[in-house]
A and B are shown apart, each in its own frame.
Chain A
């Protein structure tokens, strides 16, 4: 589905992502974990074309997409839910979803409301009045409306109550099974790994480990080094 080869990027002079290679196949859920500020969001933004890479190569569905703009990537079937500002606050829930389906000839709204029933009841409310969990659901619903083959999710569970986190992870698992491959960046490491197929660990812009999800969960050294404390490796 997507292959990223030796990707480096950053902001101006500041190199943030360093020589990262990852890949994801059809129907997979892959999680990227790592301490705060290690460049996870920057990596996703670079894949989605919001930041130009310094070097490296990205192949999506067999096509070289290095340097493509977000607008084109959406057309090619990539979806993105940013970490912050991931809904249109002054648009209603319905309008947010409509914007998601902007390019669809016949957007299927009832289908997405079946998948996220909470949103149906709040259709007319402004997105900014939603709770944190509802907002994340809306952000995902919006992104799914473009019917992506691959969706990039940046910390969807950040700041949510544990119960909500569980519910959201179930949804993501379902998305992975029935709708789209998922690259998931998460701080809730355990719950993310429990639904993921594989995982990558990133520290200070570099990939330090990759493996099967349960392998990472069981790995003593990794657990101690990277997963024990969130900020263990803050540079």
Chain B
């Protein structure tokens, strides 16, 4: 039966991971105005950085998570400095930026594939399973749910209450005027990349821990992540949060329905596609439907 408590738990976990990816995508989109296709590879990169700490160096996965956040954030900054900043100063359009992001994504994915090979890998950690309202939830899943909720509140605080966060919103609204205020936009962009990238890294570790590691880890969830961003109303931070859970539920309920009907659950990725197409047809402006929202 589709509405079991297990489905709710699974949906919330899926949604939590999508949230972290979608927020980063949205942040970068809001200030730089392009869809960052290499975001998928930031997710994968984070997952493998934690693998180095956790498995290669034999440390606790929590350290892996922290290092993944930092290193992925730094990778975001580095790619911006090496590529996107140059494109910006040449006045390149968003299409060039998007294509560049696809290119860098391919490069990063290839490097990961070369370094770790295509085989499946797993983190090493002890997990406990708890009974929860007739379903079961693992310690890891509880951790994922709580920490992504905390991160959402932290980001809300960042955007609404801090000087840097307000400057991010100002740049997103009107970059020229932000400069006229004396805001060092290039400096703020570094923070956008660091936080957006770092969140992708965390999402990668969560996904890797909840399922397994493969070089296509991030690529597999890029489409749902884009679906979340579009469903939420492109560029809407709060829309993306709601949409992430909507998609999490749709996927998990969809999978349950598919198996009820004895259809292969291999169709799971198609669910995001179908939702994406339905939204584009029925409500192109997304859940938070106004054109320019925060």
Residues facing A in B155-181 (CB within 8 A) are 163, 166-167, 169-170, 172-174, 176-181
Q: Does B184 contact A (CB under 8 A)?
A: yes
Q: Does B134 contact A (CB under 8 A)?
A: no
Q: Using known A-B contacts A85-B174, A90-B294, determine if residue A71 contacts B169 with beta carbons closer than 8 Å.
A: no
Q: Quick check: is B292 within 8 A (CB to CB) of the other chain?
A: yes
17 contacts across the A-B interface (CB closer than 8 A): A50-B176, A69-B179, A70-B179, A74-B180, A82-B176, A85-B174, A85-B176, A87-B177, A88-B170, A88-B173, A88-B177, A90-B293, A90-B294, A91-B166, A99-B170, A99-B178, A103-B181
Contact (Cβ within 8 A) A100 B181: yes
> Of A48, A71, A145, which one neighbours B184 at CB under 8 angstroms?
A71
Question: Which chain A residues in 134-183 approach chain B with CB under 8 Å?
Answer: 142-143, 145-146
The answer on a CB contact under 8 Å between A95 and B177 is no
Q: Is the CB of A90 within 8 A of B292?
A: yes
* Beta-carbon nearest neighbor of A79 in chain B: B180
List A42-83 residues whose CB lies under 8 Å from chain B: 48, 50, 69-71, 74-75, 79-80, 82
* Shortest CB distance A125–B (Å): 14
Contact of A28 with B by CB under 8 A: no
Asked if A5 is at the interface of the complex by the 8 Å CB criterion, the answer is no
Given contacts A88-B170, A91-B166, contact A82 B177 (CB under 8 A): yes
In contact, B180 and A95 (Cβ under 8 angstroms): no
Interface SS majority for chain A: loop
Residue interface mask A83-119, B partner, CB < 8 A = 1: 0011111110001001110110000000000000000
Nearest CB in chain B to that of A143: its residue = B180
Bound together, the chains give a CA A198 to CA B261 distance in angstroms of: 82
**Cβ contact within 8 Å between A80 and B183:** no
CB-defined interface of A16-37 with B at 8 Å, one 1/0 digit per residue? 0000000000000000000000
Asked if B266 lies at the interface with its beta carbon under 8 angstroms from chain A, I say no
Contacts A85-B174, A89-B292: A146 and B169 contacting too (C-beta < 8 A)?
A: no
Given contacts A80-B180, A89-B292, 6 further A-B contacts (CB under 8 A): A48-B180, A82-B177, A91-B166, A99-B166, A103-B181, A103-B182
The distance in angstroms between the C-alpha atoms of A82 and B176, with both chains bound, is: 9
Interface residues of A (CB under 8 A from B): 48, 50, 69-71, 74-75, 79-80, 82, 85-91, 95, 98-100, 102-103, 142-143, 145-146
Which of A50, A85, A102 interacts with B182 by CB under 8 Å? A102
Q: A82 near B173 (CB under 8 angstroms)?
A: no
Asked if B182 and A75 make an inter-chain contact with CB atoms under 8 angstroms apart, the answer reads yes
Q: How far is A88 from B171 in the complex, measured between Cα atoms in Å?
A: 9
Residue positions of B touching A, CB distance < 8 A: 163, 166-167, 169-170, 172-174, 176-185, 292-294
B293 contacts A99, C-beta separation under 8 Å: no
A-side contacts of B179, CB under 8 Å = 69-71, 74
> A137 to B167, alpha carbons, bound, how many Å?
21
Q: How far is the CA of A102 from the CA of B292 in the complex (A)?
A: 23
A146 lies within 8 A of B173 (CB):
no
B184 vs chain A, min Cβ distance (A): 6
Instruction: Give the CA-CA distance A88 to B166 in the complex, in Å.
Output: 11
Compute how far the CA of A89 lies from the CA of B174 in the bound complex, rounded to whole angstroms: 8
With A48-B180, A82-B177, A85-B174 known to touch, is A102 a contact of B293 (CB < 8 Å)?
no
Contacts of A86 in B (CB 8 A): 177
Pick from B176, B180, B184, B185 the residue with the most CB of A within 10 Å.
B180
B181's contact among A48, A50, A90, A99, by CB below 8 Å, is which? Answer: A99
* B181 neighbours in A (Cβ, 8 Å): 74, 99-100, 102-103, 142, 145-146
Contact between B163 and A102 (Cβ–Cβ < 8 Å)?
A: yes
Inter-chain contact A89/B173, CB cutoff 8 Å:
yes
Contact check, A91 vs B170: say whether CB atoms are below 8 A apart.
yes
How many whole Å from B226's CB to the nearest CB in chain A? 23
Chain A residues within 8 Å of B172, by CB: 90
State in angstroms the CA–CA spacing of A166 and B211 once bound together.
Answer: 67
In contact, A99 and B176 (Cβ under 8 angstroms): no
Contacts of B163 in A (CB 8 A): 98, 102
Q: A41 CB to closest chain B CB, in angstroms? A: 12
9 cross-chain pairs, A with B, having the tightest CB-CB distances, nearest first: A74-B182, A103-B182, A88-B173, A70-B179, A99-B181, A99-B170, A102-B181, A80-B180, A90-B294
Q: How far does the alpha carbon of A50 sit from the alpha carbon of B178 in the complex, in Å?
A: 12
Query: Which residues of B sit under 8 angstroms from A75, Cβ to Cβ?
Result: 182
Contact: A82 with B166, CB < 8 Å? no
CB atoms of B174 and A88 under 8 A apart = yes
Chain B residues with CB under 8 A of A146: 181-182
- Point out the residues of chain B lying under 8 angstroms from A79, CB to CB: 180
Contacts of A70 in B (CB 8 A): 176, 179-180
**Inter-chain contacts of A74 with B (CB < 8 A):** 179-182
